[in-house]
Amino acid sequence: MEIGELRHRITLQKPIITTNLNGFEEETLKDFKTVWAAVSNLRGREYYAAAAVQAENTVEFTIRYITGIDNSMRIIFKDKQYNIIAIDNIKYQNKYIEIRAQEVGVSG
């Protein structure tokens, strides 16, 4: 992958549990890291597999390798939110990570 392909800014958000004024726990999202990413829609076999389970708004983000990313996180890209579906450390080389994510609907 050419480094110039990482031209989009995405923000990874991590869920944290806080206690509100009434003493109840609630989950909020806190920015974890903002990174450069290559963004692409699914194509070919991947697209048809996603369409079979009504996951049409699935996007693949490729970023440089960083630690601490997990499936509980959310991605913000162009004012849209995406839930992480799968994380792949490409060839276990610790150079790039492919993150497959699905856009969050209005109801969240």
57 neighbors 69 (Cβ within 8 angstroms): no
Superfamily of segment(s) 3-103: Bacteriophage SPP1 head-tail adaptor protein (2.40.10.270)
* Residue among 22, 16, 60, 67 at smallest CA distance from 38: 60
Confidence of residue 4 (pLDDT cuts 50, 70, 90): confident
CA dihedral of residues 38, 44, 49, 55 (deg, nearest 10)? 50
Q: Of 78, 86, 94, 97, which Cα lies nearest the Cα of 10?
A: 78
Q: Where are the domains of the chain?
A: 3-103
Q: Which H/E stretch holds residue 46?
A: helix 44-52
pLDDT of residue 52: 52
Q: What is the pLDDT of residue 3?
A: 77
What percent of the chain has pLDDT above 90? 70
pLDDT score of 106 more than 60: no
